[in-house]
Structure 1
Amino acid sequence: MIAYIKAISYYLPPNKLTNAELSVLFPEWGIEKIANKIGVDTRHIAADNEFASDMAIAAAQKLFAEHNISPADINFILYCTQSPDYFLPTTACIIQDKLGIPVKAGALDFNLGCSGYVYGLALAKGLIAAGIATNILLLTSETYSKFIHPKDKGNRTIFGDAAAATLISTNGFAAIGHFELGTDGKGAENLIVKQGAIRHPEKSADTIHDGYGNEQSPGNLHMDGPEIFAFTSTEVPVLITEILKKNGVSKADIGQFILHQANRYMLEHLRKKMDIAPENFYIYMADVGNTVSSSVPIALYEAMKEKQTGPQAKWLLAGFGVGYSWAGTVIAFI
């Protein structure tokens, strides 16, 4: 059975962090420098008492309202986050109750970052193909801002908080194609929050200077930018080639390439390396930042407002990052 994307909505927390505010905190980083290098002008930041599940619920409620969807029609919840409410219970179970989704619905969390949305599409497609579910609510929600050291200018300029909600069903506006997935856990240390979970439960107050003017501690988000860039530069072009091959299409057949919105510099590097025309390579991060697992659905939502999506148009979706983990597919509009 074919699985389709039927509807998408997303939620941004009201609080904003602008380049002007960051340039006051970090005078060596001017407003234009941040905008030109990172490609972000504004990021939305979750309030102290606002958590990833709250944002996921808000995104789902927007989806229901904007697309006239009833919670009663949902029979599975897939919730992607790396900032769950608790170690247990499963946050998807809490979300089911708060959204009024039937108790006969399945629900599970999965922990992935920048590849999470595409992995979620793969899981949803498998549930539909197996006859397990017919209307799957895929939620991605992340509050990386709560992991970032206040003096870590690099990560504070990049990341924003957001949530997205997607309905995957047996009918919809775009058929989900074949997937290419990959994992390389050797890169785990290069993008990590080392303390606070079971292996290292106690958070240290020790401050680490990373050599690039950023302060971090082992309980905060650590990202080795050069290593992440090297991984991305090597693996993503191979990923794109394999996605095209698995779906039996060429680069010329793809109307829009929508990749994880890491930062503008990295995206432009990838675009040029893969020889993709700017008009076929969609970037949407200036007003939201890098929203981790929500970056692909947010960009997809905005691209559909701007670009042609006639019958048989094909777009490529790809996510990559923390893990290391990567994933991609092609969607075909009907």
Structure 2
Amino acid sequence: MKNMKQMKIKSFLSLIVFFTLLSTIKAQQEPMFTQYIFDPISFNAGYVGTTSMLNVNTLTRLQWVGLEGSPKTFSLSAHAPIEGRKIGLGITLLTDKIGPVNNTFFTVNYAYRLRVTDQLTLSMGIKGGISSYKVGLTDLSIIDQEDPQFENNEKKISPNLGFGFYLYEDRYFVGFSVPKLIQTSVDDEYATEKYQLKRHYYIVGGYNWKINNEWNLKPSLLTKIVGGSPVSNDITIQALYNKLVGGGIIYRVGDALGFFAFGKVYKELNVGYGYEYSLNGLSGVNSGTHEIRLTYDFNVISGPRKMKIFRF
């Protein structure tokens, strides 16, 4: 009897978490990162090839730690310029798990750089790939394991296209992008309407303020616009010392407050850590969000490095 009662409680809590996370999924269809400024390729194809190095970047994010079924995200990206040409190539792989829902995205990126002035460059990028969406209903703990509503997993694979513009020089950058143009619809048995992966619009900008020969201050803003949802704004200020170590704070308006620190630990290996504290209704049921970043730059361009980009 005691075991049966525990099973009922566990099943009830699992369903509460499932429906709570289902509403979260609809609001957070695209992953968010504390250290987004170090990996713009994840949302803007125009960034591809704007450095003089082969840049490989990984990000692991554990969101709302302590809350069952909370988002877990992993991102891998690599991009580089093609020597002697005004183009860049790159790839991105991203996995995002929220409760029983698993999203996987893989894209190939291409960008062309156009010199506007001696100092100003416009990079125009496109990306194409596939998106995989899966709901693991069989992984949920329920009382009636034979309930037909929970017997099957839902899965859908679809193509996707995106584009981005990135205008930059040594002191500042601005960008606009739509990483996923195709709005994929997925049947959802638990909602009154069909669940649609909506199109996201990103606007990003930043400035590099050189205080002296040792210190740089770099404010930036990332705005995300999604139909049917409030506009999201990430305000970031980071400080860099001797181009080796630094840190910053991020404020996601009305949603979270966080900080990050980073440094070069070995040759071209840069390591970063970020933490966020929720400012919304979830603040009392989780211990925060943790994020670890690893970045390595491989020298693939012979001669002096002439291309510069606001990154870190």
TM-score, normalised with respect to structure 2 = 0.26
* Larger RCO (CA under 8 A, 6+ residues apart): 1
Which is richer in strand? 2
Task: Please tell me whether Structure 1 or Structure 2 has the larger radius of gyration of its CA atoms.
Answer: 2
TM-score by length of 1: 0.24
Select the structure that is richer in helix: 1
